[in-house]
């Protein structure tokens, strides 16, 4: 308990220092801009616009910007991507759009693309462009490390700001509600493609003050606080005319032989000064306007209160019942010592000679427990860093990078825990134990990831991890994680075996016939209901951010839900373990792991429900990729929750058998 309080105090102090000293993370410090001709070491005039991958809610496969036939750019100036960005498939490249701070631009031509009917290469590019509009692929642009947003009115008169905007739209018949063409209104010709070849960019900046900027102050300077875009489809006539009201239409049928189609990509830029919004609050309008951030606060609060109330009730029942049992058993022992007739033992004390009998398949159980502790520590530390702001959405890829690095470095913990548990079971194959601990769970995850990566490679997707990155992951696995696991296992096997409070009989006790509720399968099925009840609200937001390109930032709520999940898994598993021991069933090792681990089954069911009701994914390939990533998430969650339940029951069983007098 004191250790937990110390950790919480340390986190609070770090958070206070972080806020009080205005410390900026690497890559997140404000950048000062000034007009051309007034640049210095502290401010610059060039405003770089970057383009990211294009993705769609209808297709899981993302593509790089240059994969479509858009305007080319010099990709040699691309920023360096971290490990998390590469694994998430982010590909940030320089854009062909040139911006200068405080320099308004009207109808600037980026490039022209010509497609000729009968030319196979030209027709292939045009068809791929049409397919992107049909699947509603979205651009993701970045300026000053901020996503350029596309804001529009929803049906409930609420403004929604998306971090991506469509590359075009396809006018269907009949018209779908709230699709891209219906939002823009004028694109209503059936079975027609409308490429958004013109963008109106609005860059809002905060001019600041001398006392706020210090030596960086400039009369014609500022900091970027937002970038918004209005995409349009324009049919340029008589050269380039951005005032044209006619839309550029691409028919559904292929072009006739020798027929030319010219798409002119243009842009306009407008700078607006706004001193009411500070640079530190520039993300607020994105997070507040998103549909999934309009949280029902009272609903979440009610869920947390209900979960805490149920957990408290479980704890009270356990404490009161155990208190009576222990008092009765100790009284019986006192009667024996005083020569009085004692009542016959019953319930969980009867199995004291078998409760610590080594589990079947102890090797596999110890390996899973080692991996579970590794995942638990990784999750806890990652969420703590995220709550402190180190892994904010502005720091792209930092969350995944932190999780991978922590998982690799925590191999020592996995090896130590696995070795200690395996040695307590009387195991002697320590080499097999270490190898399985370091290869089983990472091997399952890497195998699934590699199979899906092959699918991305075959489709030319930006999500395909380069071969060099795969080699780097294997190097982290076999060069860092594996040796650390051996080191942890070395210290674990050097320790003496765990001493149990009671001796184990040589002959196993026969287990009486069990009722329906104390049988293994019903108990395991019931055990995952309550833990799942504390996560399904946050689970919706997490899945929405993963598959609908939403920004997830509620790490404080997520950290709280994670703690409640740990408490609920522990108390639910302890309660069911106590019932089984009272029914004289001493096979609790695997059952305690599976009871809380069965929460992962409900997670799988919810992911299937989310896929069928909330997503609009089309195609067998995208469906395969969705469920492939779901399998990875479900497996890791199974190992995590199963380990939480096991160690809670392990502590509980050792505790109750150490406080009673056993003959």
pLDDT (0 to 100) of residue 187: 81
Token digits of residue 209? 């003050």
> Which has more confidence, 269 or 185?
269
Specify the range with the lowest mean pLDDT, choosing from 416-430, 475-489, 620-634: 416-430
pLDDT tens digits for 125-156? 999 999 999 999 999 999 998 899 998 877 76
pLDDT tens digits for 219-250? 678 889 999 999 999 988 777 888 888 888 88
The closest of 547, 403, 460, 496 to 56, measured between CA atoms, is 547
pLDDT (0 to 100) of residue 608: 94
Token digits of residue 228? 């918004």
- Percent of the chain surpassing pLDDT 90: 36
For the cut 60, the answer to whether the pLDDT of residue 168 exceeds it is yes
Does 364 sit behind a cis peptide bond, omega within 30 degrees of 0 on the bond before it?
no
Residue 339 bridge partners (DSSP): none
Judging by DSSP bridges, how do beta strands 138-139 and 165-166 pair with one another? antiparallel
CA-to-CA separations, 551 to 103, 121, 318, 538, in angstroms, rounded: 30, 37, 41, 13
Token digits of residue 353? 């000679």
Mean pLDDT to the nearest integer, 162-189: 74
Tell me the C-alpha distance between 656 and 199, whole Å. 69
Which residue in the block uniquely carries the two structure tokens 């990566």?
A: 453
Mean pLDDT to the nearest integer, 422-431: 87
Q: How confident is the model at residue 487 (pLDDT cuts 50, 70, 90)?
A: very high
pLDDT (0 to 100) of residue 338: 53
Tell me the C-alpha distance between 235 and 263, whole Å. 8
pLDDT (0 to 100) of residue 22: 34
CA-to-CA separations, 579 to 5, 116, 348, 517, in angstroms, rounded: 32, 76, 9, 9
The closest of 241, 242, 245, 58 to 136, measured between CA atoms, is 58
Q: Report which DSSP code applies to 158.
A: -
Tell me the C-alpha distance between 556 and 656, whole Å. 35
Phi (first) and psi of residue 486, to 5 degrees: -65, -40
Q: How confident is the model at residue 211 (pLDDT cuts 50, 70, 90)?
A: very low
> Which has more confidence, 344 or 42?
42
pLDDT tens digits for 451-460? 999 999 999 8
Tell me the C-alpha distance between 559 and 376, whole Å. 12
> Which residues, 6 or more positions from 254, have their beta carbon under 8 angstroms from its beta carbon?
117, 123, 127
pLDDT (0 to 100) of residue 628: 94
Residue 250 bridge partners (DSSP): 193
pLDDT (0 to 100) of residue 27: 45
- Alpha carbon 23 to its chain centroid, in Å, reads 26
pLDDT tens digits for 31-56? 888 887 666 667 888 899 999 999 99
Q: How confident is the model at residue 7 (pLDDT cuts 50, 70, 90)?
A: very low
pLDDT tens digits for 350-374? 777 778 888 888 899 999 999 999 9
pLDDT (0 to 100) of residue 15: 39
Tell me the C-alpha distance between 633 and 541, whole Å. 15
Q: How confident is the model at residue 526 (pLDDT cuts 50, 70, 90)?
A: confident
CA angle, 67 then 100 then 151, to 5°: 60
Mean pLDDT to the nearest integer, 301-318: 71
Q: How confident is the model at residue 270 (pLDDT cuts 50, 70, 90)?
A: very high
pLDDT tens digits for 550-595? 777 778 888 888 988 898 898 889 888 888 888 888 888 899 999 9
Say if CB 406 and CB 381 are below 8 A apart.
yes
Concatenated DSSP letters of 356-404: TSPPTTHHHHHHHHHHHHHHHHHHHHHHHHHHTTTT-TTSTTHHHHHHH
Helix (H) or strand (E) segment spanning residue 592: helix 589-597
- Rounded-to-10 torsion of CA 38, 42, 46, 50: -170
pLDDT tens digits for 619-661? 889 999 999 999 999 999 999 999 999 999 999 888 888 876 6
Tell me the C-alpha distance between 595 and 525, whole Å. 7
Residue 199 bridge partners (DSSP): 231, 267
Q: How confident is the model at residue 298 (pLDDT cuts 50, 70, 90)?
A: low
For the cut 80, the answer to whether the pLDDT of residue 508 exceeds it is no
Collapsing DSSP to helix, strand or coil, 342 comes out as: coil
């Amino acid at each position: 308990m004191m250790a937990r309080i110390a950790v919480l105090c340390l986190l609070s102090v770090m958070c206070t220092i972080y806020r009080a000293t205005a410390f900026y993370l690497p890559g997140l410090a404000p950048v000062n801009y000034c007009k051309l001709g007034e640049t210095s070491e502290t401010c610059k005039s060039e405003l770089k616009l970057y383009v990211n991958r294009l993705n769609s809610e209808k297709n899981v496969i993302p593509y790089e910007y240059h994969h479509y036939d858009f305007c080319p750019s010099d990709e040699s100036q691309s920023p360096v991507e971290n490990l998390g960005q590469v694994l998430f498939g982010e590909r940030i490249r320089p854009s062909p759009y040139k911006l200068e701070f405080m320099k308004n631009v009207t109808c600037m031509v980026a490039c022209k693309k010509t497609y000729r009917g009968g030319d196979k290469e030209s027709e292939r590019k045009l068809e791929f462009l049409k397919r992107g509009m049909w699947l509603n692929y979205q651009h993701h642009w970045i300026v000053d490390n901020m996503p350029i947003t596309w804001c529009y009115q929803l049906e409930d008169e609420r403004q929604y700001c998306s971090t991506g905007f469509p590359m075009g739209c396809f006018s269907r018949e009949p018209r779908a509600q709230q699709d891209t063409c219906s939002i823009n209104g004028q694109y209503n010709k059936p079975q027609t493609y409308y490429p958004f070849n013109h963008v109106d960019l609005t860059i809002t900046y905060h001019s600041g003050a001398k006392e706020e900027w210090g030596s960086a102050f400039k009369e014609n300077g500022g900091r970027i606080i937002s970038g918004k875009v209005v995409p349009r489809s324009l049919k340029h006539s008589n050269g380039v005319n951005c005032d044209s009201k006619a839309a550029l239409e691409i028919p559904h049928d292929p072009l006739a032989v020798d027929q030319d189609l010219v798409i002119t990509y243009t842009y306009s830029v407008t700078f607006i000064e706004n001193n009411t919004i500070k640079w530190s609050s520039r993300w607020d309008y994105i997070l507040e306007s998103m549909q999934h951030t309009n949280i029902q606060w009272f609903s979440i609060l009610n869920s947390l209160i209900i979960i805490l109330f149920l957990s408290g009730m479980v704890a009270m029942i356990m404490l009161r019942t155990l208190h009576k049992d222990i008092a009765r058993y100790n009284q019986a022992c006192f009667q024996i010592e005083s020569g009085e007739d004692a009542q016959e033992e019953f319930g969980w004390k009867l199995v004291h000679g078998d409760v610590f009998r080594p589990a079947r398949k102890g090797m596999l159980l110890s390996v899973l427990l080692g991996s579970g502790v590794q995942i638990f520590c990784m999750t806890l530390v990652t969420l703590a860093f995220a709550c402190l702001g180190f892994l904010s959405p502005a720091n792209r890829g930092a969350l995944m990078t932190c999780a991978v690095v922590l998982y690799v470095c925590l191999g020592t913990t996995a090896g130590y825990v696995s070795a200690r548990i395996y040695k307590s079971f009387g195991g002697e194959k320590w080499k097999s134990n270490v190898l399985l601990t370091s290869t089983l769970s990472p091997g399952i995850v890497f195998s699934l990831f590699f199979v899906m990566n092959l699918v991305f490679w075959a489709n030319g997707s930006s999500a395909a991890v380069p071969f060099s990155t795969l080699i780097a992951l294997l190097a982290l696995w076999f060069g860092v994680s594996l040796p650390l696991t051996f080191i942890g296992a070395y210290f674990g096997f050097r320790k003496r075996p765990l001493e149990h409070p009671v001796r184990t009989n040589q002959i196993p006790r026969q287990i009486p016939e069990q009722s329906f509720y104390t049988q293994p399968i019903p108990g395991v099925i019931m055990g995952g209901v309550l833990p799942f009840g504390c996560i399904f609200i946050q689970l919706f937001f997490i899945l929405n951010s993963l598959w609908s390109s939403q920004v997830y930032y509620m790490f404080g709520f997520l950290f709280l839900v994670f703690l409640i999940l740990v408490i609920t898994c522990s108390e639910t598993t302890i309660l069911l373990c106590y019932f089984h021991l009272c029914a004289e069933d001493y096979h609790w090792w695997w059952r305690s792991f599976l009871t809380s681990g069965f929460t992962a089954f409900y997670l799988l069911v919810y992911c299937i429900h989310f896929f069928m009701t909330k997503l609009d994914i089309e195609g067998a390939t995208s469906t395969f990729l969705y469920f492939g990533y779901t399998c990875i998430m479900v497996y890791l969650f199974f190992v995590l929750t199963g380990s939480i339940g096991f160690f809670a029951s392990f502590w509980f069983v050792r505790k109750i058998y150490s406080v009673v007098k056993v003959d």
